Amino acid sequence: MSQKKAQLILEDGSRFSGYSFGADMPTSGEVVFNTAMTGYPESLTDPSYAGQILVITYPLVGNYGVPGFETENGIPLFFESDKIHVKAVAISDYSFKYSHWNATKSLDQWLKEHNVPGVFGVDTREITKIIREHGVMLGKVAIENAPEPAEFFDPNKENLVAQVSIKKSKRYGEGKYNVILVDCGCKYNIIRCLMRRDATVTVVPWDYDFTHMEYDGVMISNGPGDPQMCGATISNIQKAMNVGKPIFGICMGNHLLSIAAGANTYKLKYGHRSHNQPVLKVGANTAYITSQNHGYAVNPEQLDKDWEPYFVNLNDGTNEGIRHKSKPFFSVQFHPEATSGPVDTEFLFDDFIKMMR
Amino acid sequence: MQQEKIKKVILLGSGALKIGEAGEFDYSGSQALKALKEEGIETVLINPNIATIQTSENIADKIYFLPVTPEYVEDVIIKEKPQGILLAFGGQTALNCGVKLYQSGVLEKYNVQALGTPVQAIIDTEDREKFVKKLDEINVKTIKSQAVTTVADAKRVAGELGYPIIVRAAYTLGGLGSGFCDNEEELEILAQKAFTYSPQILVEKSLRGWKEVEYEVVRDRYDNCITVCNMENFDPLGIHTGESIVVAPSQTLTNAEYHKLRKLAIKIIRHIGIVGECNVQYALDPNSEDYRVIEVNARLSRSSALASKATGYPLAFVAAKLGLGYGLHELKNAVTKSTTACFEPALDYIVCKIPRWDLGKFKGVSRELGSSMKSVGEVMAIGRTFEEAIQKGLRMIGQGMHGFVANKELTTNNVVQELGHPTDKRIFVIANALRQGYSVKDIHELTKIDCWFLDKLQNIVDLETTLEQYDAIQKVPDETLRIAKQKGFSDFQLARIIFRANNENIEEKMLKVRHHRKAQGITPVVKQIDTLAAEYPAKTNYLYVTYNGTAHDIEFGEQSAIDSSSPNSVVVLGSGAYRIGSSVEFDWCSVNAGNTIRKRGYRSIMVNFNPETVSTDYDECDRLYFDELSLERVLDITELEQPLGVVVSVGGQIPNNLAMRLRKQQVPILGTSAEDIDRAEDRHKFSSLLDKIGVDQPRWKELSTINAIYSFVDEVGFPMLIRPSYVLSGAAMNVVSNKEELEHFLTLATSVSKQHPVVVSEFIENAKEIEIDAVAQSGKLVAYAISEHVEFAGVHSGDATLVFPAQKMYVETMRRIKHIARQVAQGLNISGPFNMQLLAKNNDIKVIECNLRASRSFPFVSKVLKVNLIELATRVMLGEQVEPPHKSVFDLDYVGVKAPQFSFTRLQKADPVLGVEMASTGEVGCIGDDFSEALLKAMISVGYGIPRKNVLLSTGDSRSKIETLSAAKMLQKNGYDIFATKGTADFLAGNGVQATVLHWPDQSEQPNTLTYIKEKKIDLVVNIPKNLSKDELNNDYLIRRGAIDFNIPLITNARLASAFIDAFCRLSKEDVRIKSWNEY
């Protein structure tokens, strides 16, 4: 084996030995697992993973390589942001040879280009079980012949949203509906989904007060880390509620809208990161399979009386969305924009647009 | 919620196992029945397949061993007055029957509701033209095609589309009558044949080389949809999915492709209106996201059974609940028991399904793979690398291969030709090509198999090359050894590569590898299949073994005891892939052994790898190892589990063959000792035992020179049965009737030498063949069942029609057989099940075979006798003192008949003649008040319709002619029109039976046999081969093959033909009693 040896070291002291691929570079971050079976180019560029070491439970990774960086309307066709956001990736079996018509490079090469390390040959199922039992943990990647990082880095102590958010507002498309997109770590597919529905999307920084602008609706994006760090966004949302135009939040957007509506958030033991999370529309027999990526959840009990739970997780009963009883404000904990994952709830974008009519 | 008014439901089974419709429907039906039972609904099952689990006690409330045909189902509906019927759990047989019942108004007339998917939705998916129209409505692309009803139209459409084209017949099983055509001549031949199966055929543009991907989709009445699993075919479009290696989940699809097809699948299931489960098959362009929908199966299928086993998601169980009106969100995940059934399993492993073919059993069959199915079974291997999964799978297939490499040499004459025209050996041709230096790209060009798969196969070959550098296991670096194990190399493969071990010393070397590797800490881990990739804690007992991991998911030893008062576990070794000679009957035995072990307070551990079975349902045991039945893997498992013992006698020959090898490694074998099993298996040892106890057997010798064979022939005379140990071509066993045939066989089919001796036995003609299935305890006979064959000896017991209790046997013969059984049981000190086959001529009885294990007929005789012989045998093996059943249970006032099911229609060009090699793929067992009634039910169940008017007789040699004479007379008396070939007609005329002469196929005169067959003017063909040799005259072959190709019932045995004709002449449909099992 010509690959350098590498280790994934967890906070509890357990060590998993494998081999290095991608950048031969030690690192540290919060270790999380995702049970999705496809979509590594999308996941790795999802800003919500900022600060995290991603363990992919599906053992065979890299099979279809990595696509090229072609863009359309100023957005890359196949990625969710312009760079890889994970600190590192840990997998079981890496496919050195890839095969796909739209691939231009291997995962190994792509990680190297972005200076992101990877570890393969580790028992990802065992790591997952440890995290499941113990809760999320910090971790380190150590590489043969390189000094092991001395400290565990805790990304939750930083304002990750501020780090990944756009610095200056940017406009996409020329559509009928004027949508403000508050970028807490936005995935590009939210922009794509809105543009496909005849919207002009103005992406603004996470703490930008957009309420003085002309708009038809506000979208609060997904993003990494602890929602409590985003006080500025929360107060802007509260102002926007007074404006009364439609508001739609996704993931971090659900946290922030919920806090603005009086509720609290708390950290889940190990979060929801997968493509197979079932949610039920509250009060109906309608269930959807959703793509999720979050470590915090909303406690809907303290919601103001004008608000109600919209969706609930069928597996563990956690909140999956809220809505205002009379005004056009709603948010969901899952990812209706998918990429990666199932697209069953994309209709929520239609609902949002309809509210602007 | 559930519909209140449904109190009683009929479920239609799939009948006998056949190619394209096998054990998977026992699994789906059993699951559905469990689901109904849980709701307190009374269940009625119609299925003549007596060897299944679903037709066992406590699964359905009532069981009818009757044909799954509209007439019989209607009779049962009249008698049982059910409110609902389930059509989706018995394959195409049940679906077709249900559609007919709906169309003829029977369901409406008796107020029976089809539960689940509405019948109209089924019709919309089955009729190709309606199907395409239906998908056009929602802008979903189908393969551009046209339905035609004449050959001329087929040619016109093909001309418009441009060749190559594919022809498909509507309403058929597993692609019957389908195929590719490169030109008009090929189309003419194929279309003609397809029209005999179906009034409508579909001509479409070929998309050969596109990826083939399937989704299993579930929908409830609230319109909630999930896709439980997707699967990708290793072999691209052009090879039937049943013939293809398949992996789950898909491996070469991006997220965009995966979810594009998933979204379409949900759109389709909603538009069609399925309630329950369906399967959507796609062709996906390997160079873009373009796709076509190939077909939708609005029922549980082979793929859905595979998906259930691949994911742990019980599709059939859930589909049945949805049919009762539940929503997905109202059901629980059966594995975690805490989360919801409304989710999509996340796998953290790869499964690889590989088909099992038995084409070597058939003479003349085409070995090329194409768009119709020929495989008789399949295996599923689970691993955490593709290399691990496929190498495991190739071993599981059980045809002497040890993985992808390190196999016995396979000669490929022309790699390019063989890669381009795949046969059942394709995967090994790829191995040869890689070893010969063909690049992945070259092979991809020829096969269109995605390079990702080929690159992984290249990894295996590269690793083999690396390992070849070493000549001692100690010299192999631990890291390399570990990687080899992670890539699925077995100890056997390593022994062969490193020690260049030959067959004589391989076992020793293999154990050396094992010993070394264990000393270095290179051992596998046991992982769970939990549907959620470890996201939630799951108490699942569904396990596999892998080298790609560092920790076990479960605990072993004392901590693992579920109940401290019963810390002992017992391992049951299952039967492996279904194949000719070993199928669902051994699964029944395995499941019953497991259930008995549990009932007696032990933990049952099942090892098996066949996704089509009930034994691999994790509900059926305390721990299920979905893994290899090899010495290496069984040792891995027994070393971890430390069981009380291993049961090797209920899973057929695979576990039986492991007995001695396990014993040598100090693994405790329950029941009859391994040494005694060996004494029965070893021809010489068994023979001397028989001599010692004074039991007769046909004379035989193991010979290693041609001259010795000739002198043995001089001693005993013709005909002779020859069993070579090394076969050059054709079948392994053969009967030769004269010197010419013997010479022909010895020079063309086999090689004779000291290394490859030939066993030659005396072949006794016109002898009765008798079977005894029995259980003994410490050498004492406890229970037994004696049955007889309708056919004379010479037809393989698996192809014979079995009657139990024997109806035409001398009391003295019976008594002597019992006596022999007692002597053998004592001589071999049997504790457990055993089976003997005997010949009786006059009162001369000879033993021809003895197996110290359960046999194919155990479920049949157990169910007819209503004494579960496997339960009894298992209790014996657990060391309990059992009481013999009361004598009165052996005194039955009804008769059971077991009849074979053949699948010759699918095996193009194969000669549908019976001989000493088994050819049937399944069987049924029916019960009647007398022999004729039971036979009639059984024959109808395996597809023999009662002829309307015209019967063709061609009755072979004079003995057969005499044998069938009274049947011919009955036909005449009952107003049938008899047609016959010249000799037969002359013979009949001389005996007062009028027959119209039809000329032989090679004659140009009309009326001709072949024309009558092609024009379907004949309703039953009786063609008796003239001698025992397989080298039949071309004419007879053409008649037989014609009957098969044009779907006309064919009988090739004089005694069976007489019995069947006698039965349908004597009994009318009204005489056949509609009685459930418990009414006998």
Closest Cα in chain A, distance from residue B533 (Å): 6
Look at residues A353, A269, A351 and name the one whose alpha carbon lies nearest to residue A310: A351
Give B328's strand partners: none
Query: CB within 8 A of B937, min separation 6: which ones?
Result: B48, B65, B66, B67, B897, B926, B927, B928, B1072
B180 alpha-carbon distance from chain centroid: 26
Q: Looking at the predicted structure, is the pLDDT value of residue B830 above 70?
A: yes
Q: Looking at the predicted structure, is the pLDDT value of residue A3 above 60?
A: yes
pLDDT (tens digit per residue) in B677-718 = 999 999 899 999 999 999 999 999 999 888 999 999 999 999
Mean pLDDT, residues A70-82 taken together: 95
The angle subtended at Cα A48 by Cα A46 and Cα A49, nearest 5°, is 80
Mean pLDDT, residues B803-816 taken together: 93
- B990 vs A336: CA distance, rounded Å: 84
Secondary structure class of B8 (helix, strand, coil):
strand
Q: A198 with A353: CB under 8 angstroms? A: yes
- B507 vs B22: CA distance, rounded Å: 35
- B244 vs B265: CA distance, rounded Å: 22
Q: Looking at the predicted structure, is the pLDDT value of residue B391 above 70?
A: yes
Contact of A41 with chain B, judged by CB distance below 8 Å, is answered with yes
Contact of A341 with chain B, judged by CB distance below 8 Å, is answered with yes
Number of residue pairs across A and B with CB atoms under 8 Å? Answer: 173
Answer yes or no: do B535 and A125 touch at CB < 8 A: no
Closest Cα in chain B, distance from residue A223 (Å): 21
Q: Please, which residues 127-186 of chain A have a Cβ atom closer than 8 Å to chain B? A: 128-129, 132-133
Amino acid, res. B279: N
pLDDT (tens digit per residue) in B631-679 = 999 999 999 999 999 999 999 999 999 999 999 999 999 999 999 999 9
Query: CB within 8 A of B871, min separation 6: which ones?
Result: B592, B595, B596
Q: A353 with A175: CB under 8 angstroms? A: no
What average pLDDT is seen over chain B?
A: 93
Amino acid, res. B556: F
Q: Looking at the predicted structure, is the pLDDT value of residue A71 above 80?
A: yes
**DSSP state for residue B664 in the 8-state scheme:** H
pLDDT of residue A291: 97
Q: In 10 A of CB B745, how many CB atoms?
A: 22
Q: Looking at the predicted structure, is the pLDDT value of residue A309 above 50?
A: yes
Q: Greatest CA span in chain A, whole angstroms? A: 63
The DSSP result for B1006-1067, as a single string, is SSBHHHHHHTT--SEEEE--SSSSS---HHHHHHHHHHHHTT--EE--HHHHHHHHHHHHH-
Answer yes or no: do B385 and A128 touch at CB < 8 A: no
Secondary structure class of B335 (helix, strand, coil):
coil
**B441 compared with B746, residue with greater pLDDT:** B441
Q: Which helix H or strand E contains B338, and what residues bound it?
A: none
B409 alpha-carbon distance from chain centroid: 27
pLDDT (tens digit per residue) in B595-643 = 999 999 999 999 999 999 999 999 999 999 999 999 999 999 999 999 9
Answer yes or no: do A95 and B455 touch at CB < 8 A: yes
**Strands A177-183 and A199-205, how do they pair?**
parallel
Judged on CB neighbours under 10 Å (0-12, 13-18, 19+), A238 is: middle
* Residues counted in chain A: 357
- B444 vs A273: CA distance, rounded Å: 36
Whole-number Cα distances in Å, B1079 to A310, B785, B869? 56, 21, 21
Closest Cα in chain A, distance from residue B540 (Å): 14
List the catalytic residues of A.
251, 335, 337
Look at residues B346, B223, B188, B242 and name the one whose alpha carbon lies nearest to residue B24: B242
- A162 vs A159: CA distance, rounded Å: 6
The angle subtended at Cα B245 by Cα B240 and Cα B248, nearest 5°, is 110
**Strands B179-181 and B165-169, how do they pair?**
antiparallel
DSSP percent split of chain A into helix, strand, coil, nearest 5: 20, 35, 40
**DSSP state for residue B1077 in the 8-state scheme:** G
Amino acid, res. B73: V
Q: Looking at the predicted structure, is the pLDDT value of residue B575 above 70?
A: yes
Q: Looking at the predicted structure, is the pLDDT value of residue B334 above 90?
A: no
Q: B955 with B1025: CB under 8 angstroms? A: no
Query: CB within 8 A of B564, min separation 6: which ones?
Result: none
Answer yes or no: do B343 and A57 touch at CB < 8 A: no
Q: In 10 A of CB B162, how many CB atoms?
A: 9
**Percentage of chain B with pLDDT > 90?**
80
**A6 compared with B1029, residue with greater pLDDT:** A6
Judge if the upstream peptide bond of residue B375 is cis by omega within 30 degrees of 0. no
A345 chain-B contacts, CB cut-off 8 A:
none
Look at residues B599, B609, B616 and name the one whose alpha carbon lies nearest to residue B630: B609
- A105 vs A119: CA distance, rounded Å: 18
Count of CA atoms in the C-beta half-sphere (13 A) of B940: 25
Secondary structure class of A184 (helix, strand, coil):
coil
pLDDT of residue B1025: 87
Q: Return the structure tokens found at A110.
A: 């792509």
B337 chain-A contacts, CB cut-off 8 A:
none
| Backbone dihedral angles phi then psi of residue A65, each to the nearest 5 degrees | 65, -155
Which residue in A70, A125, A274 has the most chain B C-beta atoms within 10 A of its own C-beta, making it the best mutation to test that interface? A125
Whole-number Cα distances in Å, B587 to A196, A262, B606, B634? 55, 60, 11, 18
pLDDT (tens digit per residue) in B556-571 = 975 444 444 455 999 9
B346 chain-A contacts, CB cut-off 8 A:
35-37, 57-58, 274-276
A278 chain-B contacts, CB cut-off 8 A:
329, 340, 342-343
- B813 vs B771: CA distance, rounded Å: 12
Comparing CB atoms, the residue among B255, B344, B455 nearest residue A289 is B344
Answer yes or no: do A64 and B249 touch at CB < 8 A: no
What order of strands is seen across the sheet that includes strand B922-928?
A: B844-851, B832-841, B768-777, B780-792, B802-804, B895-901, B922-928
Q: B579 with B377: CB under 8 angstroms? A: yes
**DSSP state for residue B404 in the 8-state scheme:** S
Comparing CB atoms, the residue among B252, B328, B384 nearest residue A100 is B252
| Alpha helices by DSSP H, B105-166 | 106-109, 119-126, 128-136, 151-161
Closest Cα in chain A, distance from residue B550 (Å): 6
pLDDT (tens digit per residue) in B991-1000 = 999 999 999 9
Which residue from A minimizes the CA distance to B386? A60
- A243 vs A237: CA distance, rounded Å: 10
A275 chain-B contacts, CB cut-off 8 A:
344, 346
pLDDT of residue B1: 52
Query: CB within 8 A of B975, min separation 6: which ones?
Result: none
| Backbone dihedral angles phi then psi of residue B195, each to the nearest 5 degrees | -65, -20
Q: Looking at the predicted structure, is the pLDDT value of residue A74 above 50?
A: yes
Mean pLDDT, residues B575-583 taken together: 94
Closest Cα in chain B, distance from residue A125 (Å): 7
Per-residue pLDDT band for B1033 (boundaries 50, 70, 90) equals: low
Amino acid, res. B178: S
**Strands A5-10 and A15-22, how do they pair?**
antiparallel
**Percentage of chain B with pLDDT > 70?**
97
- B860 vs B490: CA distance, rounded Å: 38
pLDDT of residue B869: 97
Which residue in B535, B540, B547 has the most chain A C-beta atoms within 10 A of its own C-beta, making it the best mutation to test that interface? B535
End-to-end, the C-alpha distance of chain A in Å comes to: 61
Mean pLDDT, residues B963-973 taken together: 97
Whole-number Cα distances in Å, B709 to A178, B704, B724, B760? 95, 8, 12, 7
Which range is least confidently modeled, A325-339, B194-208, B388-402, B866-880?
A: B194-208
Amino acid, res. A182: V
Closest Cα in chain B, distance from residue A16 (Å): 9
End-to-end, the C-alpha distance of chain B in Å comes to: 37
Mean pLDDT, residues A31-40 taken together: 97
Q: Please, which residues 55-84 of chain A have a Cβ atom closer than 8 Å to chain B? A: 57-60, 63-64, 67, 78
3-state secondary structure labels for all residues of B40-89: CCEEEEECCCCCCCCCCCCCCCEEECCCCCHHHHHHHHHHHCCCEEECCC
Comparing CB atoms, the residue among B224, B258, B451 nearest residue A287 is B224
